[in-house]
Each structure stands twice: as structure tokens, then as C-alpha cells.
Amino acid sequence: MDNKRSDINYLFGQRVRQLRQQKGLSQEDLGYETGLHRTYIGQIERAEKNITLRNIERVARELGVDIKDLFDFTTLDLDNNNKSKKKNKS
């Protein structure tokens, strides 16, 4: 199994990105509504930062989900995410 697929920060970040995009929010929009900086949102999504419990609560509230839903990684299409990233880089 790919290391990223078992990394909680990576999976959490992908889940936040998925829910944010489903809501039609930019990183800037989510940051503004949660009181967090847009670059911090990006760092969370790229698994570059550990997010605190308080900030998890803020993100969940703004996305309109329960905290536990941020940890439901069963809906992530990790293979498709990697393909689209590679496609965007070319």
C-alpha cells in the first residue's frame, strides 16, 4: 500500500478538499469563513500541517458536516486524485 494512502494527514487533507469542492468553496472562502488563513487550508489539504482539534471543529462546522465525517475516508478516490494531479502538471 502506498504510504500516502495510510497517512492520516494526507487522507484528512484529501477529505477536506473533497468536501470543500463539493460545497463549491475555494480555499480562500473556507479560510475566511473559518477564520483560518487560506494558505493554512492549502497546507492542511496537502498534508503539510497538523491541524488542531479546535480547527477541525471550525472546518467541520463551516462545511456543514459532523467532525466524524471528516474522517470518513471511504469516499475518497485516491487513484483518480493522483491521475488528475499528474495531468494538471503536464
In the prediction, which pLDDT does 6 show?
75
* Domain range for 11: 3-89
C-alpha cell at 87: 495531468
3-state secondary structure of 81: helix
Q: How far apart are CA 47 and CA 64, in angstroms?
A: 22
pLDDT tens column, 33-88: 999 999 999 999 999 999 999 999 999 999 999 999 999 999 998 877 655 555 55
Q: How far apart are CA 31 and CA 59, in angstroms?
A: 9
- State the angle between helix axes of 27-34 and 53-63 in degrees (0 to 180), rounded to the nearest 10: 110
In the prediction, which pLDDT does 90 show?
47
Q: How far apart are CA 23 and CA 21, in angstroms?
A: 5
CATH number at residue 22: 1.10.260.40
Structure pTM? 0.83
Query: How many structural domains comprise the chain?
Result: 1
